[in-house]
């Protein structure tokens, strides 16, 4: 009888606790990314004169909640071992990045220095990012494994995905699509690719344009407030609206033409930098963004078809690591 209860996702006696943990993970993940963005603002405008600045306190408080939640899942549930391994490994990288970041600032940067551009892409910050990616993907898959049994968790999965979207666009923009040289080219390609993958992912998972429009508006607004530049609102929000209105929800194959056009829209703000970049650079980066959009529109659908299906049709939601495909 007891063994019968011990199923994937945790025992039935523990399932309500596991669902509560997933809710906590969704909220904590979103708050942690918002605090990461505020930490970037603090570094740019005030500088880092001490490890215990307010954004760091908030950041590691949120991180502690995520650690405690994932360790509960690790020891008390029957979720797939690979997911648990990725989560613990990711948490380990984030933990190591904290003292590494403290050492880096003491040795490489004097107190109070305002960090700009690629200064954010320091080794400890990249280590934090790598750990965040692994942990984020683990939380997404843990949430998916429970949503088959409790669809009320969909909103918390949405928060986790939205947190990942914000984190990626924040990290990609460190490369500066408006920089001169190959860094700017690479930054523009990644910016277009990751934005479209996330928008496609949200559209396909939830099969509801409201989720996507809300996500696009939220990310555009947060980036605009962070940078105090209205260009972000256009280049980040409008692509999400276009995918929500014209993206092929019921087909595995995304429209290549739509992906190309959305990539161009993402790069539209570059045209305000012609004086510094030059016409040829702006044109080339616009096409780079368009072709990245073609790849991203297909890649996003492949990921979701393989791992998720559509949450709008619960009978088609696949088990984690299942080979069952969405047959819509």
For 119-150, write each residue's pLDDT tens digit: 566 777 778 888 888 888 888 877 877 776 77
For tokens 């939640």, name the residue. Answer: 69
Q: What local confidence, expressed as pLDDT, does residue 192 receive?
A: 92
Q: Interhelix angle for 182-206 vs 209-227, to 10°?
A: 150
In this predicted structure, the answer to whether residue 318 has a pLDDT above a threshold of 70 is: no
Q: What local confidence, expressed as pLDDT, does residue 310 receive?
A: 62
Q: What local confidence, expressed as pLDDT, does residue 119 receive?
A: 56
For tokens 């096409």, name the residue. Answer: 287
Residues 163, 21 share a domain? yes
Residues 290, 202 share a domain? yes
Which domain range does residue 264 map to?
Answer: 179-328
Q: What local confidence, expressed as pLDDT, does residue 281 receive?
A: 94
Residues 164, 118 share a domain? yes
| Number of domains forming the structure of the chain | 2
Residues 27, 171 share a domain? yes
CA–CA dist 101, 188 (Å, integer): 27
Residues 128, 17 share a domain? yes
CA–CA dist 42, 55 (Å, integer): 8
Residues 170, 57 share a domain? yes
Element (H, E) at 300: helix 279-307
Which of 151, 175, 199 is at the close of a domain? 175
Residues 223, 124 share a domain? no
pTM of this prediction?
0.73
Which of 175, 208, 239 is at the close of a domain? 175
In this predicted structure, the answer to whether residue 9 has a pLDDT above a threshold of 50 is: no
Residues 257, 194 share a domain? yes
pLDDT tier for residue 82 given thresholds of 50, 70 and 90: low
Q: What local confidence, expressed as pLDDT, does residue 279 receive?
A: 93
Q: What local confidence, expressed as pLDDT, does residue 277 receive?
A: 92
Share of the chain above pLDDT 70, in %: 76
């Amino acid at each position: 009888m007891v063994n019968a209860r011990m199923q994937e996702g945790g025992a039935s006696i523990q399932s309500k606790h596991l669902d509560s943990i997933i809710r906590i993970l969704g909220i904590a993940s979103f708050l942690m990314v918002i605090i990461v963005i505020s930490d970037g603002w603090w570094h740019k405008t005030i500088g880092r004169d001490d490890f215990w600045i307010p954004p760091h306190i908030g950041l590691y408080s949120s991180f502690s909640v995520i650690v405690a939640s994932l360790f509960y899942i690790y020891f008390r549930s029957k979720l797939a071992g690979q997911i648990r391994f990725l989560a613990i490994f990711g948490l380990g990288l984030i933990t190591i990045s904290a003292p590494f970041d403290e050492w880096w600032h003491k040795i490489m940067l004097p107190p109070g220095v305002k960090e700009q551009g690629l200064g954010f892409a320091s080794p400890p910050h990249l280590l934090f990012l790598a750990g965040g990616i692994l942990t984020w993907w683990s939380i997404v898959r843990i949430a998916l494994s429970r949503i088959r049994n409790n669809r009320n968790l969909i909103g918390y999965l949405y928060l986790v995905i939205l947190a990942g979207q914000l984190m990626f666009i924040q990290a990609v923009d460190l490369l500066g699509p408006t920089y001169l040289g190959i860094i700017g080219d690479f930054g523009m390609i990644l910016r277009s690719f990751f934005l479209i993958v996330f928008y496609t992912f949200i559209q396909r998972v939830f099969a509801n344009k409201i989720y996507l429009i809300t996500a696009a508006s939220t990310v555009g607004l947060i980036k605009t407030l962070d940078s105090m530049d209205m260009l972000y609102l256009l280049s980040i929000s409008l692509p999400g609206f276009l995918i929500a209105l014209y993206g092929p929800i019921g087909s595995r194959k995304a429209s290549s033409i739509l992906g190309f056009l959305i990539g161009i829209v993402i790069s539209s703000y570059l045209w305000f930098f012609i004086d510094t970049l030059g016409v040829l650079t702006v044109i080339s980066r616009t096409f780079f963004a368009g072709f990245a959009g073609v790849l991203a529109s297909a890649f996003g659908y492949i990921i979701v078809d393989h791992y998720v299906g559509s949450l709008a049709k619960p009978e088609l939601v696949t088990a984690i690591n299942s080979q069952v495909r969405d047959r819509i």
